[in-house]
Chain A
Amino acid sequence: MRPAHIFADFKVVARTYFRNPVALFFSLIFPIILIALFGLIFSSTGSSSVTLAVVNEDHNSSESVAFLAALNQTTLVKVQVENVAPGDFASWLGQNDYPVGLVIPAGFQANYTNHTATNLTLYTDPQDAASSGQVEAAVIGVTNQFNLNAVCTAGSCAPIIGISSANVGSAVYTYIDYLIPGLIGFTILTSPMFSMVDVASSYRKDGIFRQLSLTPLTRAEWLTSRILWYIVLTFVSAGIMIGTGAYLFNAHVLVTVQLIPFLVAGPFLFVSLGMLAGSVARTPESAALIGNIITFPMMFLSGTFFPVSSFPPGLQTFAHVLPLYYVIDGMNQVMLFANSARALTDVAIVLAIAVVFFLLSIRLFKWRDE
């Protein structure tokens, strides 16, 4: 690998891109449209909050009431406390056309203050993914907030009440917050996949690979320069999406250095995978087909638009074999939950898959014929 070769090829890629209005549109304008569109459809403007039926088994203890109040403050949900037996709750929800319901267990306050595990039960309707996702984002957000407070008490931090009253409202996640990592993941997947699959087959057909094989440029250098280019594009489009979300919809996401590994490893993975898909195909048509078969399930089932946890169990299992799931989950951990440990696991998985795809695609894609 010679940096001078990679840089020379990088310049060619960048120029090709800047001189191609369609490519520029898809990498720079399209992210804004995505965020604006989904933001407008799903962002909470008060009236669009989802009614959440709640059974409070902890008999209106102060912690449980505070928890429900925090949920209401997200403006994503409108809490409506109901008096239903927990065993009948699921069918009751269905009969009364509630898409979502929450059970706060007995002993919630006692367990919470003693740092003992306590389980909320969230009922969601898989047919109504929009409401489910929105409610789930709110419940996860508030729960995280409460848990952070609890952990802080276990150490030598400030008392619970003080911290919770100070933070409620600003550190709670709205759907648009959730959407930003998802849509960044969406572009990390789609922009290299669609173009690399096409490049792999059309460069072979046009003899450009043969032409390059006559120079000292190696396949690894060539692929590395593409990866670098998509890393740059990813940084730019992620910046645009975070900025648009914050400016138009008042999104709150954490932007830290921990985001960088995902913006690097993600493009690394999908440029390699796109090249691999394009290399195994014999014609541009079959390359496009293989590319679509790989891309489309990942586009919708990796937690891009809705949390994977809101999927039915079978689909959840399927989501866990999709590489994009780990990119998006990792960015969620960094940008929403500040969970570095899980983000580290995610990035390790992404990097491992990326290295395998990179090596495989270099092996399988040929400059020249036998």
Chain B
Amino acid sequence: MGVAIEVKGLRKRYGPLAAVDGIDFSVEAGSVFAFLGPNGAGKTTTTEILEGLRNRSEGTVGVLGFDPWADGGTLHRRIGVIPQDFRFFEKITPREAIEYYRALFHTAPDPVELLRRVELADKADARFDSLSGGQKQKLGLALSLVNDPEVCFLDEPTTGLDPHARRSIWAVIRQLRKEGRTVFLTTHYLEEAELLADRVAIIHHGRIIASGTPGHIIEQFGGPERLRVEAPPELAGYLASHAGVVARAEDGHVEVELRSKEDALKVLSAIDASGIPWQGFETVHDTLEDVFVRLVGQMDEGALRSEAAP
């Protein structure tokens, strides 16, 4: 599989402010790539540059080999886009909207079939202004598929949606991947990225601070795996002195860092030997969200510290 999106040294300046400050990444064709970052980090700016909606200040960008700003006309026939907060003509129904796009793109998907795919077939003849937020977003998704795109850009497609609507959009994203399409996704929900994405990149203050598979990022930036035991706090002290492990007590349980599988066996037999009553145990590890919060938090603290320095 080749590369669908290639970004090198991308910068976007608004006056003295750099919204995107020299980023590089590439997205393999047929994969789901999640682009994460706190609000104002440069996610939407980057996405809009890739979609050809915004020009860049510096760097090279290739989507399916095209420069999105210069070759937008050609590129737009081969990509699908749902912008953040999708809006459309208020008095037009989903069926009519798809027919409109069909005529513009000279394609012939069946409107009802397409709406069924995004679970909107029952609203095919309702006017856009009567649709809920989730239904509007689903229409955006359906419209982005009218031209049978090779790359789909979804900018926060599930923001503000109820859990059911989110799950149905996830199902569509999985289906898109299965069909061999490339999906470029931005989201606030780290759980969503972890579930759907082959690779993620985290952008903060216009720079990419971590990238790779979710597992790789967690491994690289997350804490070690931990054994969590439901037991009174004195167990922490006992394990520290008798098993030589790092243990801490909090909220009615004790957490022990595991450096290896052997550690787990050692800790469990030490607990058994301690005679301290315990209920159950589980192993826990950092999620992408834990890592994200930690990384972003560290960077902001660092920034505050350097600002405070004379």
Closest to B129 in A: A19
Contacting pair B51 A214 (CB below 8 A): yes
**Residues of B close to A19: CB separation below 8 A:** 91, 127
- Please measure, in the bound complex, the distance between the C-alpha atom of A208 and the C-alpha atom of B99, giving whole angstroms: 17
- Please measure, in the bound complex, the distance between the C-alpha atom of A15 and the C-alpha atom of B92, giving whole angstroms: 7
Of A5, A211, A213, A368, the contact of B87 (CB 8 Å cutoff) = A211
Q: Does A117 contact B (CB under 8 A)?
A: no
Give B217 Cβ to nearest chain A Cβ, in Å: 31
- Please measure, in the bound complex, the distance between the C-alpha atom of A206 and the C-alpha atom of B136, giving whole angstroms: 14
Contacting pair A216 B76 (CB below 8 A): yes
Within 8 A of A (CB), among B239-284: none
Of A206, A214, A216, A370, the contact of B55 (CB 8 Å cutoff) = A370
Mask for A1-22, Cβ within 8 A of B = 1, else 0? Answer: 0001101110110011001100
Given that A19-B127, A208-B89, A370-B55 are contacting pairs, would A215 and B83 also be in contact in the complex, using a CB cutoff of 8 Å?
no
- Please measure, in the bound complex, the distance between the C-alpha atom of A140 and the C-alpha atom of B72, giving whole angstroms: 59
Q: Does A294 contact B (CB under 8 A)?
A: no
Contacting pair B76 A11 (CB below 8 A): no
Within 8 A of B (CB), among A209-232: 210-211, 213-217
Mask for A42-77, Cβ within 8 A of B = 1, else 0? Answer: 000000000000000000000000000000000000
**Residues of A close to B299: CB separation below 8 A:** none
What is the number of residues of chain B that contact chain A, defined by CB distance less than 8 Å?
29
**Residues of B close to A159: CB separation below 8 A:** none
Contacting pair A7 B54 (CB below 8 A): no
**Residues of B close to A4: CB separation below 8 A:** 103, 106
**Residues of A close to B77: CB separation below 8 A:** 216
Q: Does A369 contact B (CB under 8 A)?
A: yes
Q: Does B293 contact A (CB under 8 A)?
A: no
Given that A208-B88, A368-B53, A370-B54 are contacting pairs, would A12 and B104 also be in contact in the complex, using a CB cutoff of 8 Å?
no
Q: Does B101 contact A (CB under 8 A)?
A: yes
- Please measure, in the bound complex, the distance between the C-alpha atom of A181 and the C-alpha atom of B298, giving whole angstroms: 73
Q: Does B96 contact A (CB under 8 A)?
A: yes
Contacting pair A215 B104 (CB below 8 A): yes
Q: Does B236 contact A (CB under 8 A)?
A: no
- Please measure, in the bound complex, the distance between the C-alpha atom of A215 and the C-alpha atom of B88, giving whole angstroms: 13
Contacting pair B100 A8 (CB below 8 A): yes
Given that A15-B92, A208-B89 are contacting pairs, would A368 and B100 also be in contact in the complex, using a CB cutoff of 8 Å?
no
Q: Does B52 contact A (CB under 8 A)?
A: yes
Given that A210-B53, A368-B54 are contacting pairs, would A216 and B91 also be in contact in the complex, using a CB cutoff of 8 Å?
no
Contacting pair A207 B83 (CB below 8 A): yes
Contacting pair A7 B53 (CB below 8 A): no
Give A368 Cβ to nearest chain B Cβ, in Å: 5
Q: Does B191 contact A (CB under 8 A)?
A: no
Of B54, B96, B104, the contact of A216 (CB 8 Å cutoff) = B104
Q: Does B201 contact A (CB under 8 A)?
A: no
**Residues of B close to A368: CB separation below 8 A:** 52-54
**Residues of A close to B141: CB separation below 8 A:** none
Given that A206-B87, A216-B73, A216-B76 are contacting pairs, would A8 and B53 also be in contact in the complex, using a CB cutoff of 8 Å?
no
Contacting pair A210 B100 (CB below 8 A): no
- Please measure, in the bound complex, the distance between the C-alpha atom of A370 and the C-alpha atom of B96, giving whole angstroms: 31
Mask for B76-110, Cβ within 8 A of A = 1, else 0? Answer: 11000101011111111000100111011110000
Of B76, B87, B91, the contact of A208 (CB 8 Å cutoff) = B87
Contacting pair A12 B96 (CB below 8 A): yes
Closest to B57 in A: A370
**Residues of A close to B73: CB separation below 8 A:** 216
- Please measure, in the bound complex, the distance between the C-alpha atom of A214 and the C-alpha atom of B72, giving whole angstroms: 8
Contacting pair A211 B83 (CB below 8 A): yes
Contacting pair A369 B54 (CB below 8 A): yes
Closest to B51 in A: A214
Contacting pair B53 A214 (CB below 8 A): yes
- Please measure, in the bound complex, the distance between the C-alpha atom of A210 and the C-alpha atom of B76, giving whole angstroms: 12
**Residues of A close to B48: CB separation below 8 A:** 369
**Residues of B close to A12: CB separation below 8 A:** 89, 92, 96, 100
Contacting pair B91 A16 (CB below 8 A): yes
**Residues of B close to A214: CB separation below 8 A:** 51-53, 76, 81
**Residues of A close to B81: CB separation below 8 A:** 214
Give A188 Cβ to nearest chain B Cβ, in Å: 24
Closest to A216 in B: B104
Contacting pair A215 B101 (CB below 8 A): yes
Give B88 Cβ to nearest chain A Cβ, in Å: 7
Of B53, B104, B127, the contact of A5 (CB 8 Å cutoff) = B104
B52, B53, B77, B99 — which one has the most chain A CB atoms within 10 A of its CB?
A: B53
Of B72, B87, B91, B101, the contact of A20 (CB 8 Å cutoff) = B91
Contacting pair B96 A15 (CB below 8 A): yes
Contacting pair A215 B54 (CB below 8 A): no
Contacting pair B85 A207 (CB below 8 A): yes
- Please measure, in the bound complex, the distance between the C-alpha atom of A368 and the C-alpha atom of B51, giving whole angstroms: 11
Give A201 Cβ to nearest chain B Cβ, in Å: 14
Give B276 Cβ to nearest chain A Cβ, in Å: 61
**Residues of B close to A5: CB separation below 8 A:** 103-104
Given that A15-B96, A216-B104 are contacting pairs, would A369 and B53 also be in contact in the complex, using a CB cutoff of 8 Å?
yes
Contacting pair B103 A15 (CB below 8 A): no
Closest to B84 in A: A207
Contacting pair A9 B100 (CB below 8 A): yes
**Residues of B close to A210: CB separation below 8 A:** 53, 83
Question: Shortest 10 CB-CB distances between A and B: which pairs?
Answer: A8-B103, A19-B91, A206-B87, A215-B104, A16-B91, A368-B53, A214-B81, A370-B55, A214-B76, A217-B104
Question: What is B's interface to A at a CB cutoff of 8 Å?
Answer: 48, 51-55, 72-73, 76-77, 81, 83, 85-92, 96, 99-101, 103-106, 127
8 sampled A-B residue pairs with Cβ under 8 A: A8-B104, A12-B92, A16-B92, A216-B106, A368-B53, A369-B53, A369-B55, A370-B54
Question: What is A's interface to B at a CB cutoff of 8 Å?
Answer: 4-5, 7-9, 11-12, 15-16, 19-20, 206-208, 210-211, 213-217, 368-370
Known: A215-B101, A368-B53, A369-B54. 10 other contacts (CB 8 A): A5-B103, A8-B103, A207-B87, A211-B86, A211-B88, A213-B76, A215-B76, A216-B73, A216-B76, A217-B104
